Chain A
Amino acid sequence: AQKITQTQPGMFVQEKEAVTLDCTYDTSDPSYGLFWYKQPSSGEMIFLIYQGSYDQQNATEGRYSLNFQKARKSANLVISASQLGDSAMYFCAMRGAMKTSYDKVIFGPGTSLSVIP
């Protein structure tokens, strides 16, 4: 069975500093995808970044980068130069092997990030 673990229920970071949100996962699928989503207090779920299990390089999207360590089954999100608007809940998520073209995503419990001015 697949499982996502996020051990940090809440995190604080000073504005303009970098922060790392931890994510570990468990799967027996040889091929999988890892995602990070941001959920502000308004409720919408915003896609941030994707890492495929066979990707050789760590994914980056602007201020977001994913520190992917396959052997350790970790996929930590790094946010550089934090902004006040980064305050939100962050979910790590995983999609299983592409047996079909429509596999569901499972989510971790989330980490609440608060950026301090």
Chain B
Amino acid sequence: AAGVIQSPRHLIKEKRETATLKCYPIPRHDTVYWYQQGPGQDPQFLISFYEKMQSDKGSIPDRFSAQQFSDYHSELNMSSLELGDSALYFCASSLAGDTQYFGPGTRLTVL
């Protein structure tokens, strides 16, 4: 069965640079979620989109923005990167608020 696809899988950036993470949800899923998981921590909700509209917002820094496109893929844009942004970023998708299936994650390292 098709799963959530995230790219890139690994990303290394310098402080103050920008990064764009991409997420392709499971086909026919209508909701996309972004989570951030710091080292040794549980995932923290950042933002979600339902039918291409932002539906909920968590502890997402103002330096981050996200959107969902007409083909339902989503991008998380991160600017002015800080050392503390180093984390595993997950995208998850669901159909009508049902079980969220997670992608493999993008491991971001900020140097």
Residues of A within 8 A of B (CB): 35, 37, 43-47, 50, 91, 95, 98, 100-110
The prevalent SS among residues of B at the interface is: strand
Q: Tell whether B102 is near chain A: CB-to-CB under 8 Å.
A: yes
Collect the chain B residues with CB atoms within 8 Å of residue A108's CB: 42
A47 touches B97 (CB 8 A): no
Interface of A is mostly: loop
User: Scoring B residues 22 to 59 as 1 if CB is less than 8 Å from chain A, else 0, what string do you get?
Assistant: 00000000110100000001111100111000011010
Question: Do A107 and B99 touch (CB < 8 A)?
Answer: no
10 tightest A-B CB contacts, nearest first: A45-B102, A101-B97, A107-B42, A104-B45, A102-B50, A102-B55, A102-B31, A44-B104, A101-B96, A43-B105
User: Do A100 and B55 touch (CB < 8 A)?
Assistant: yes
Residues of the A chain whose Cβ atoms lie less than 8 Å from the Cβ of B88: 43
Q: Is B64 an interface residue (CB 8 A)?
A: no
